[in-house]
Amino acid sequence: MSFVERGLIVRRDDSASVTYTDIARLAGVSTATVSRVLAGSASVSRDRQERVHLAAEQLGYRPNRAARALRRNKSDTIGLVVSDIEYPPIARLARVIESEAALQGLGLMICNTDESLTRQSFYIDLLLQERVAGVIAMPATDDPQQIRSLLDSDIPTVTVDRIVPDHNVDCVLIDNAAATHALVADLLGHQRRRFLGIFGTQDATPSRERLEAVQEQLSTRSGVTLSVRTLSLGSTIGIAQATRRITSIVQESFGSSAYNPDAIICSNAMTVEIVMKTLFERSIRVPDEVSVVGYDDMIGLDLFYSPVTVADQPFDRIGKRAVELLLSRMSGDADRSQRIIRIQPDMQFRDSCGGGHS
């Protein structure tokens, strides 16, 4: 072990670990050769290759990722920046990305922003300090300024779900217009005429595209009305308050002098959940009195008292594509234009729309 010959000035406080020096000595080669063999890079004679591999194994060599990262100014870790890992579709995204990253020997660092721009900046800074090899992000907003330091770095970045207008970031997201059209068509097919749309922040791609699509689709219909409520950025109000907000939107929408929608479009699965709960508590029957549809599937949604029709975002496929794009950027082709990949939604027609898919 090299510790026997290390200077005495600084002592390691943990059990000595095996280094290239140890392997080199045992294999009778230089550390440069050890590096070449273990990195599988430059060509080394077969004989030496074997000796190095054997020595490494005998000594139980374990690479030191920090040393490698320092030398190469790039770690073998990628960062995942998301709003909320607890949101089931995002958990699925994380799972897929983690699994693909592991295949490349890359670690995955999770960064949960709660859609707070402050936390988002904090995490981007942390990832820059870490010199991560790449970042997959679902930024709180589409604003490039909010992730400026990441864009200005040379760290390959791919966004998911949200298009940041910058040539340096690819994006993978579903076809929100197609998803919306399918949902609205199903509602119209069930003779729904009074729509209530509950959408998220218009500072991010999905809710903006979805709202636009609904408005466009309904604008040509006569006798059909649309009432829209948008929520502000998650961070600015917090989850508890968002829940209260949605609950009150639903409550205010029903009653003798209210809008009384016969269809509610919810921009995500949490909204679906809150809406369904509020309707249940107020004994407003789904789908008899009102249809409910949403975006994003979630485990159990098909077992609700009225199974909910949704346009699922297939985050397993989205995650895989995102990793593909990221790896491609990581392996060099950095100076090209922005790639935007659209994935088709996975429609789940269930009873909440009116039963018997139209």
Partner DNA sequence: CTGAAAGCGCTTACAG
Of 319, 316, 277, whose CA–CA distance to 297 is shortest?
316
CA atoms within 13 A on the CB side of 151: 17
Query: Of these, 17, 121, 260, 348, which contacts DNA (CB under 7 A)?
Result: 17
CA dihedral 170, 172, 177, 183 (to 10 degrees): -170
When the beta carbons of 55 and 272 are compared against a copy of itself, the nearer one is 272
- Rule CB under 7 A: say whether 32 interacts with DNA: yes
- Rule CB under 7 A: say whether 6 interacts with DNA: yes
- Rule CB under 7 A: say whether 225 interacts with DNA: no
Q: Is 349 helix (H, G, I), strand (E, B) or coil?
A: coil
With 0-12 / 13-18 / 19 or more C-beta atoms within 10 angstroms meaning exposed / middle / buried, residue 14 is: exposed
**What's the rounded Cα separation, in Å, for the pair 259 and 257?**
7
Binding mask 125-154 for DNA (x = CB under 7 A): ------------------------------
- In the complex, the smallest distance separating the C-beta of residue 185 from a copy of itself, rounded to whole angstroms, is 26
- Rule CB under 7 A: say whether 110 interacts with DNA: no
**What's the rounded Cα separation, in Å, for the pair 4 and 6?**
6
Q: How many residues bind DNA (CB under 7 A)?
A: 40
- In the complex, the smallest distance separating the C-beta of residue 89 from a copy of itself, rounded to whole angstroms, is 10
When the beta carbons of 124 and 169 are compared against a copy of itself, the nearer one is 124
Q: Which partner in DNA, a copy of itself, none is near 125 (CB below 5 to 8 A by kind)?
A: a copy of itself
When the beta carbons of 45 and 225 are compared against DNA, the nearer one is 45
- Rule CB under 7 A: say whether 34 interacts with DNA: yes
Give 15's contacts (C-beta < 8 A, 6+ positions apart): none
- How many residues are there in the chain? 358
- In the complex, the smallest distance separating the C-beta of residue 273 from a copy of itself, rounded to whole angstroms, is 6
With 0-12 / 13-18 / 19 or more C-beta atoms within 10 angstroms meaning exposed / middle / buried, residue 335 is: exposed
The tokens of 159 are what?
A: 């966004």
**What's the rounded Cα separation, in Å, for the pair 193 and 284?**
17
Query: Of these, 4, 15, 40, 47, which contacts DNA (CB under 7 A)?
Result: 47
- In the complex, the smallest distance separating the C-beta of residue 110 from a copy of itself, rounded to whole angstroms, is 5
Region of 68-76, 132-140, 161-169, 322-330 interacting with DNA (CB under 7 A): 68-76
Q: Which partner in a copy of itself, DNA, none is near 123 (CB below 5 to 8 A by kind)?
A: a copy of itself
- Rule CB under 7 A: say whether 39 interacts with DNA: yes
Of 337, 166, 347, 189, whose CA–CA distance to 263 is shortest?
189
Binding site for a copy of itself (CB under 8 A): 12-15, 62-67, 69-70, 73, 75, 77, 84-86, 88, 91-92, 94-95, 98-99, 102, 105, 107-112, 119, 122-123, 125-126, 128-131, 153-154, 270, 273, 276-277, 280, 298-305
Which residue's entry shows tokens 């004679």?
A: 45
**What's the rounded Cα separation, in Å, for the pair 73 and 132?**
9
Binding mask 270-309 for DNA (x = CB under 7 A): ----------------------------------------
**What's the rounded Cα separation, in Å, for the pair 54 and 145?**
51
CB 310 within 8 A of CB 296: yes
Residues that bind DNA (CB under 7 A): 2-3, 6-12, 16-17, 19-20, 28-36, 38-39, 41-45, 47-48, 61, 63-64, 67-68, 70-73
